[in-house]
Structures are given as C-alpha cells and as structure tokens.
Amino acid sequence: RTWHSPTSEASLSESGASVGVEDVRFLREQLVDFMLGYKFAIDEIITKINILREDFNHTNEYNPIEHINSRLKSPESVLEKCRRKNYRMDLASIRDNVLDIAGVRVVCSFISDIAKIRDMLVGQQDITLLAERDYITNRKPNGYQSLHLIVSIPVFRSNRTDNVPVEIQIRTIAMDFWASLEHKIYYKYRGAVPPNLLSELTNAAEAATHLDEKMEALHRLVDHTSDPGSR
Ligand code: GTP
Ligand code: MG
C-alpha cells in the first residue's frame, strides 16, 4: 500500500474513486501505529538519559546535563521531507529514509560533557549507532555546532519488536542558544537571510565557541582544585 500525498481524507478520496472510507480508515490506523513506535523510542531514550543524569550526579556529584527536549515529527513534515529529498511516499520508504522522525536534544553545560554523554549512550547494549555527524569538530559554514547521532533502539510492542531510529542532538547551552536564534532568523526571512545578518550570526557563533572554551577552562580549574573552603 502506498501512502498518498497529501494525507487528508478529502484528497485521498478525490485522487481515485477506488479509495473508500475503509481504505482511509486502514491507512490512518496504520499511520497512528507507525508514529506510536517513534513516540515509544523517544520515551526510552529520555528514560536512558534521565538515568544517566541521576547516576552521574550520584557518582560524580556533578550533573553534565542541563536539559532535555524531544520532538516527534508531524506527518506533514515527514511528507515534506520525502518531497524535498525525493523519497517514495510509503511507510516502508519512510521507515528506511526518514531517520529523524523521533528527535531528542540533550543540552550540556560544558563541551567535554558532550563526548561523555555520547559514549555513555553509544556504549549501551541495546543502542546501535547508525550514523554520526560531528558539527563541533566540523562546524557548518553558518556557525552551527552540535553533535548528531542517529541511533536505533528496540521498541517492544504488544505483538512485535521494532528497531526504531532516533536522532539525538548533543550540544552546549551556548551552541543551543545560537541554534535557536539562528532558527528563528532563518524562518523570519524564509531562508533568505540578508548577508550582513548572516555574518553577524557567524560572529555570534565565534563568540559562543569562545565562551564555551572559557567556561570549559574555568570548569577544569575548579574541578582540579581541592575544596576551595580549605584554602
Ligand atoms: P534535515 O533534512 O533538516 O533533517 O537535515 P539533514 O538530514 O541533512 O541532517 P543535519 O544533520 O544537517 O540536520 C539535522 C537537524 O539539525 C536539523 O533538522 C536541525 O534541527 C539541526 N540543524 C542542522 N543544521 C542547522 C543549522 O544550520 N541551524 C540550526 N538552527 N539547526 C540546524
Ligand atoms: Mg531533521
């Protein structure tokens, strides 16, 4: 069965006399079931990260995670991505090609926390690393920095087990601050950001990196000094 575009009932029934109410209902149930798997995968990853946060805090008396966000891509943006990337629009193709339906973002205090969290996650038995993009070592020309992992995690459903991909973005507070502003500006100008603003953004990214490096150095200093009260 193909997943026609767009998904609205009206256009599905308009697209061919052979598509009946039953077909639409079946399609919708299939889609809801499909999307639920990604929601469960997000739940699992968030549980894992919360466990790491609590355990790390307990073991090291230090919390490397500032906050966690997650998002489930809407069916509309899944279809939009298929259109943009020329993927076939059926569930099998979406499953194989669109690997960022489930997204989790981990925001850390310090640059060095990023690799720690990455290693703690990737080292887990039930997590398979499918792809990794290091936009910190190789920042994007606009200044974007973040570590992206595409992992796969088993989701135990009532009648089967699915391996579900999740995109995990790990970045510092400064990188996150920059990315959310850049995102807002990009949308405000619908992608056509004026050149002067683009170069200001690149400058701001430099400043963010500078701040991250300063904070990291300070953090190391404090970390390696014995109890400050005793001096
Ligand atoms: P998408 O088709 O957008 O998913 O990109 P991709 O498959 O080429 O992957 P990539 O790793 O480049 O980007 C994935 C996600 O990272 C995006 O959906 C954004 O959330 C984030 N991202 C990547 N580049 C930028 C950027 O320049 N600015 C901001 N604000 N976010 C970015
Ligand atoms: Mg994406």
Share of the chain above pLDDT 70, in %: 89
pLDDT at 225: 56
pLDDT tens profile 147-183: 999 999 999 999 999 999 999 999 999 999 999 999 9
- Whether residue 38 has its Cβ less than 6 Å from ligand 1: no
State in Å: Cα 83 to ligand 2 middle. Answer: 14
Within 61-158, residue ranges assigned H as helices are 75-85, 91-97, 111-122
pLDDT at 63: 87
Q: How many other C-beta atoms are found inside a 10 Å radius of the C-beta of residue 134?
A: 15
Give helix 21-60 / helix 111-122 axis angle, nearest 10°. Answer: 120
pLDDT tens profile 115-141: 999 999 999 999 999 999 999 999 999
User: Is 167 an active-site residue?
Assistant: yes
State in Å: Cα 62 to ligand 1 middle. Answer: 30
- Whether residue 110 has its Cβ less than 6 Å from ligand 1: no
Give helix 195-223 / helix 111-122 axis angle, nearest 10°. Answer: 80
- Whether residue 148 has its Cβ less than 6 Å from ligand 1: yes
pTM: 0.87
pLDDT at 133: 98
- Whether residue 100 has its Cβ less than 6 Å from ligand 1: yes
Residues facing residue 71 across a β-bridge: 103
What average pLDDT does the segment 174-196 reach? 93
Give helix 195-223 / helix 173-188 axis angle, nearest 10°. Answer: 170
What average pLDDT does the segment 64-84 reach? 94
Report the C-alpha gap between 104 and 68 in whole angstroms. 7
State in Å: Cα 231 to ligand 2 middle. Answer: 50
Q: Ligand 1 atom closest to Cα of 103? A: 20
ipTM comes to 0.95
Catalytic residue among 9, 44, 61, 167: 167
